[in-house]
Amino acid sequence: MEIKTVGVVGAGQMGNGIAHVMALAGYDVLLNDISQEALDAAMTQIAANLDRQVSREKISADARDAALARITATATLADLGQSDLVVEAATEREEVKNKIFETLLPHLKPETLLTSNTSSISITRLASRTDRPEKFMGFHFMNPVPIMKLVELIRGIQTDQETYEACLGVVDTLGKTAASAEDFPAFIVNRILMPMINEAVYTLYEGVGGVYSIDEAMKLGANHPMGPLELADFIGLDTCLAIMNVLHDGLGDTKYRPCPLLSKYVEAGWLGRKSNRGFYDYRGEKPVPTR
């Protein structure tokens, strides 16, 4: 099927990034959030990110203006019903995602494709709660969306080939690369990345090294662009913990047990950059390790 209109549910960091790249690629975008404040902030952020691309000569001013004109913000979920493709990018909680799809279903066209940007939740299980499991799949963008080139495409057990090929076509139109993953906990990227971050937290917890030493060791010793603790702060420690719990619960292997120190930071509300404190304190002129 030809996809022209894309509905994006959730105007946070991932949602506004998805709206940005979809509009820039020529799709008409309906961006939804329950909060008008979040929608306003998202539109401001998208405009700023597009301006940055113009200043770096990645896109033209005309392309920026055309992309902004293609995005319509709405606080009414039902407005997304006529979309050809819906990308759910709400918070990483299964009950929230199920409620969104439940609310949206009565308003959808029969041919509308449903996708979720979930980083770890079972696509098969999410799809089973809808009226079109064969037209449902995982569409997992990497953060920050305008910069990262990978999209994980995850087929549930009932996803049909036509849906997969349509989503693959969208990824190609965006100028990104698709990695096809089977529907197992955390898929490919987070199945590998999160245990590494969790192990870095254990290394800190056990006193093997401090925050600065661990991050510098991995940046200079393994040529990683960001240290694992710095990266955890960027992702959000609550998100890291949620994915580790999905891995631990879904695979039943003790190697995926979340580090108690990670849980403690989340309990304290030290979630990383978004709360100004995590493994680093971001309230001063430059980040300072908290341990």
Enumerate the active-site residues. Answer: 119, 140, 152, 190
CB 124 within 8 A of CB 158: yes
CB atoms within 10 A of CB 76: 11
CB 10 within 8 A of CB 39: no
CB 107 within 8 A of CB 80: yes
8-state DSSP, 272: B
For residue 269, give every residue at least 6 positions away whose Cβ sits within 8 Å of its Cβ, in sequence order, or none: 275
Dihedral of the alpha carbons of 22, 23, 27, 29, in degrees to the nearest 10: 90
- DSSP letters, 117-137, are --SSS-HHHHHHTSS-GGGEE
Determine the Cα–Cα distance for residues 278 and 273; give it in Å rounded to an integer.
7
Determine the Cα–Cα distance for residues 253 and 204; give it in Å rounded to an integer.
22
In the block, which residue shows the tokens 């891995």?
Answer: 247
Q: How far is CA 189 from CA 109, 141, 247, 274, 288, in A?
A: 32, 11, 12, 22, 28
CB 164 within 8 A of CB 137: yes
Query: Which has the closest alpha carbon to 196: 232, 220, 245?
Result: 232
Query: 272 pairs with which residues across the strands?
Result: 277
Burial 217-249 (b: 16+ CB within 10 A, else e): bbeeeeeeeebbbbbbbebbbbbbbbbbbbbbe
